Structure 1
Amino acid sequence: MHDDLKQAVEILKNGGVILYPTDTIWGIGCDATNPEAVARIYRIKKREDSKSMLVLMENPALLERYVDDVPEVAWDLVEITTTPLTVIYPGAKNLAPNLIAEDGSIGIRFTKEEFTSKLLQRFRRPIVSTSANISGQKPPAFFDEISEEIKNQVDYIVEYRQDDVTPAQPSSIIKLWPDGRIDIIRK
């Protein structure tokens, strides 16, 4: 894992794109503060850039660095959740502009998975996490289901967990509104 982490961090620092295991399914990732790298992921996925992608973070203490006003309920959700949960926050900041939704929001998930946690600790910035598939196609459940088209367009493919066939699911998604409302987007 050490070599994978070293290589992935180097690629991310240089504006590259990686294919990596997450706490849910395999993801395509880049530096979430780099607009050129984010644009490249949209091209790889053949996805409209109006459809925002989420970011992974390791430490909830960094949330206020990337969200203007964190609703109070967010802290409770982060603390009590036991399964992967993506929260869409209003008022995104300090991220690549093409990553932020038209309404100014951003989806953030805190990971507890070993590889992504260590990757985020070493990189010290949030990274994009979007499913490793062409937009509109079924997300791959395992590494072996990722298309060659995706694999051929990234700068580095993490070796760690490529043989893992543990069933994985995308995260639940909720949206927090400034007025305190909560919308459930995906259970």
Structure 2
Amino acid sequence: MQTEINKALQILKQGGLILYPTDTVWGIGCDATNPEAVKKVFELKQREDSKALICLVADDRMLNKYVKKVPEVAFNILDVADNPITIIYDDAQNLAENLIAEDHTIAIRIPNDDFCFQLLRRFNGAIVSTSANTSGQPTPKSFKEISPEVLKGVDYVVNLHREKICSKPSSIIKLGNDGKVQVIRK
């Protein structure tokens, strides 16, 4: 696993794209602070950059680096969540401008996955995580369902967990600084 982390880190630091297994589905990833890398993700997915992407962070400390004020209830939700949950936060900061939504929100997940955790820790920053498909196409449930266009469009494919079948993408909730909670995807 360390070899794969090292290879992925090298690509991320060079502004490249990786294809990697997450705690949910296979993801296309890049340095979430690099606008050129984020632009490559939008181009590969053939997606308008007005549609925001999710990014992953290793822990609460890293979450606080990218959100001005994390509502206290977010930590309670993360503590009790049985399944992977992505939270959309107000007031994103320290990220590529083209990653932040027009309303200045950002979708962030702390993955429960050893490879992702170690990659994020070693990278010491947020990594984009968007499903490994082009816009409008179904989310691949396994590595073998990933299209040749996506496989060719990334700079490195992590050689781990290729046999794993993914159940489904994470749940998504929007958590406003005003305390309002909105379920986006169950």
Category of TM-score, reference length = shorter chain: over 0.9
Matches within 5 A, 1:1-187: 1-165=1-165, 167-187=166-186
- 8 Å Cα contact 1:67/1:90 also seen in 2: yes
- 8 Å Cα contact 1:88/1:173 also seen in 2: yes
- 8 Å Cα contact 1:60/1:78 also seen in 2: no
- After superposition, the C-alpha distances for 1:80-132 in whole angstroms (9 at most, x for unaligned) are 21210000000000000000000000000001111111111111101000000
Q: What residue ranges of structure 2 are gaps of 5+ in the alignment?
A: none
Q: Distance in 1 between matches of 2:67 and 2:6?
A: 28
Q: Distance in 1 between matches of 2:58 and 2:112?
A: 7
- 8 Å Cα contact 2:62/2:125 also seen in 1: no
TM-score (norm 1): 0.97
- The aligned amino acid for 1:26 is W
Extract structure 1 runs of 4+ deviating beyond 3 A: none
Q: What residue ranges of structure 1 are gaps of 5+ in the alignment?
A: none
The residue matched to 1:152 in structure 2 has which SS?
A: helix
Measured after TM superposition, the shift of residue 75 of structure 1 is: 1.4
Count residues in correspondence.
186
The residue matched to 2:24 in structure 1 has which SS?
A: coil
- The aligned amino acid for 1:184 is V
Measured after TM superposition, the shift of residue 145 of structure 1 is: 0.1
Between stretches 83-92 and 69-78, larger displacement belongs to 69-78
Q: Distance in 2 between matches of 1:56 and 1:67?
A: 13
- 8 Å Cα contact 1:58/1:112 also seen in 2: no
- The aligned amino acid for 2:69 is D
Percent identical pairs in the alignment equals 52
TM-score (norm 2): 0.98
